[in-house]
Structure 1
Amino acid sequence: MSGRGELAELGDIDRIIAAALHEDLASGDMTSRLTVPALAPANGRIIAKQALSFCAGPVVVRTFEQVDPAVTVELCVGEGDRVKPGTELVRLAGLARSLLAGERTALNLLGRACAVATLTHAYVEAAGPTLRVVDTRKTMPGLRALDRYAVRMGGGHNHRNDLGAGLLIKENHIRCAGSVDAAVRAAREHASHAVRVECEVETLAEVRQAISAGADVLLLDNMDDQTLREAVEIARQQNDRVLLEVSGGITLARLPTLATIGLDLVSVGAITHSAPSVDMSLLFELP
């Protein structure tokens, strides 16, 4: 199983892998060169040591292709699959030196992606079927394509990829423009008809202003549950087509309540900026 079908979704993954390999192998692998015979073969198995959502198997494939095209990689589970502790995730076969050279890079990238997918899955499960979980731009620098892919594999959805991929008026834009009303009207006037205008609001007064000025989406930021209920009521009365996104103070425990309020989206920076490492290991077996 090559995993090439998913590579197109991972952006410029070859560049990311090449940079990571250079970081680890810039001066070679002294230990393997001095202790492992050049032609010694080995088999390897990557094992999950905890429950997790598997993600980025194709990255493992591509990592070892860059290290040594003769290494064979078999993916044992599918992208987005939930697995139990002890599950065999990947099988490897090739020269021992090649497996050792790619081991850390492959595990670092696989572990990062599985961590994001696993945490995203937890948020999606807590939010239920009616509240869509979306990511933010709070991604690991240089790994945004991998992080966004992992969010999707965890059952979440992507917000804008970069500053040019969507129009989102935030607190500092409003300060520079002078008011919510001024910022939204300026965006509405100059943006293409195909672009949604989203505006961050922090008070009920700003909710009213943003809708009156023509916002298509409201980002309800750092509001408590009761204020959110009032914001939803105001929005539905003024323009029931406005999409409502909530952010700030989002926890797993809070999501079931948020799902009952009438919101459309919940954006969660934690799924990418605070995903805890997952436990996995690469075990060698000599033929």
Structure 2
Amino acid sequence: MILRPLPAVMLEPLVRVALLEDLGRAGDMTTDAIVAKSHHATTVLAARQCGIVAGLDLVTLAFRLIDQNIKIDVNRADGSKVAQGEVIASVSGPTRAILTAERTALNFLCHLSGIATATASIVAAVREHPVKITCTRKTTPGLRAVEKYAVRAGGGANHRFGLDDAILIKDNHIAIAGGIGCAIERAKASVGHLVKIEVEVDTLAQLEEALALAPDAVLLDNMSVDELRQAVSMVAGRAITEASGGITAASAPAIAATGVDLISIGWLTHSAPILDIGLDYRAH
């Protein structure tokens, strides 16, 4: 899979907001008080632990929005595996600007690299099976595009980006509509032929009811491994099968072995731990 960068026009507003939040009303008082305006420095972004890198375009923007004279030389691109202690990139230029942008740059880089690393761990756990690992809409408000990009950097795939991508009929929709059949029929009547319809089911009985109306995909929510295996057999290729619900690197292989097409995991974006990365000063 080719990891395509996100357009700068999408990233710059996110970085500007983050920088403004940090700069406040008076700028970097500490750095301005301690570091001479004329001072230049070379620093490196170094991994404190092994993992997968993601977010370097945001890092570049964070530094260059503060000072265009900062130079960033990337050693390990997004999607690359890094070892503990490995240099990801070097950052050189006016020292005040580097230190002012440091935290914003690291916040993005550590967070997104953490998502990529967590995704890669699940992808590796199921590598023996033809299943895709996907994220969900459980993302940090305002950061969905970059968090989903980080999932791709880790070798995963993306689920819906928003409510307008496709129809996903969930338990509350079913309850309010009066049943799976009514919900699917209303969905099919309201959208065009290019819009996919997926329905969430909790039981094999619900799955049987849904399959009668030929949805494009079925979300098999919180089913046991045995139930998932039966569900895949019932679907028999008539719809995309997606397993979801509390899946970890430990449980993913058995779930993948049932034959499901997708495994969706919300914690990849809402709870993945950061990858510890630091900015280190290199004295001349």
Residue by residue, what CA displacement relative to the aligned partner does 1:172-217 show, whole Å, maximum 9, x if unpaired? 1111111011001111122211111100000111101111022110
Match status 1:149 vs 2:177:
no
CA distance in 2: counterparts of 1:156 and 1:8, whole angstroms: 16
Q: Is the 8 A contact 2:220 2:244 kept in 1?
A: yes
Aligned residue for 2:207? Answer: 207
Aligned residue for 2:223? Answer: 223
- 1:285 Cα deviation after fit: 2.2
Aligned residue for 2:242? Answer: 245
1:49/1:284 CA distance change after superposition, 3 Å? same
- 1:270 Cα deviation after fit: 1.2
- 1:148 Cα deviation after fit: 0.5
Match status 1:194 vs 2:156:
no
Matched residue count: 280
CA distance in 1: counterparts of 2:200 and 2:142, whole angstroms: 26
Letter in 2 for 1:116: I
Q: Is the 8 A contact 2:214 2:239 kept in 1?
A: no
CA distance in 2: counterparts of 1:24 and 1:45, whole angstroms: 21
- 1:284 Cα deviation after fit: 1.1
What CA RMSD, in Å, does the superposition of the two structures yield over aligned residues?
A: 1.4
Aligned residue for 2:95? Answer: 96
Q: If the length of structure 1 is used for normalisation, what is the TM-score?
A: 0.94
SS of residue in 2 equivalent to 1:213: coil
1:258/1:272 CA distance change after superposition, 3 Å? same
Q: Is the 8 A contact 1:10 1:149 kept in 2?
A: no
Q: What is the percentage of aligned positions where both structures have the same residue?
A: 38
Aligned residue for 1:280? Answer: 277
Q: If the length of structure 2 is used for normalisation, what is the TM-score?
A: 0.95
In structure 1, list runs of 5 or more residues that go unmatched. none
1:10/1:39 CA distance change after superposition, 3 Å? closer
CA distance in 2: counterparts of 1:157 and 1:10, whole angstroms: 21
- 1:229 Cα deviation after fit: 1.4
When structure 1 is superposed on structure 2, of 154-163 and 226-235 the one drifting more is 226-235
SS of residue in 2 equivalent to 1:122: helix
Letter in 1 for 2:218: L
- 1:16 Cα deviation after fit: 0.4
CA distance in 2: counterparts of 1:109 and 1:279, whole angstroms: 12
- 1:22 Cα deviation after fit: 0.3
Aligned residue for 1:126? Answer: 125
Aligned residue for 1:86? Answer: 85
Aligned residue for 1:51? Answer: 50
Question: Which aligned segments of 4 or more residues in structure 1 are displaced greater than 4 angstroms?
Answer: none
SS of residue in 1 equivalent to 2:212: helix
Residue by residue, what CA displacement relative to the aligned partner does 1:17-61 show, whole Å, maximum 9, x if unpaired? 000000111220111111111111111101001001011111111
Q: Is the 8 A contact 2:184 2:213 kept in 1?
A: yes
Q: Is the 8 A contact 2:198 2:216 kept in 1?
A: yes
CA distance in 2: counterparts of 1:203 and 1:188, whole angstroms: 22
Match status 1:18 vs 2:9:
no
CA distance in 2: counterparts of 1:74 and 1:125, whole angstroms: 29
Aligned residue for 2:259? Answer: 262
1:276/1:73 CA distance change after superposition, 3 Å? same
Aligned residue for 2:110? Answer: 111
CA distance in 2: counterparts of 1:10 and 1:267, whole angstroms: 28
CA distance in 2: counterparts of 1:231 and 1:55, whole angstroms: 36
CA distance in 2: counterparts of 1:29 and 1:9, whole angstroms: 29
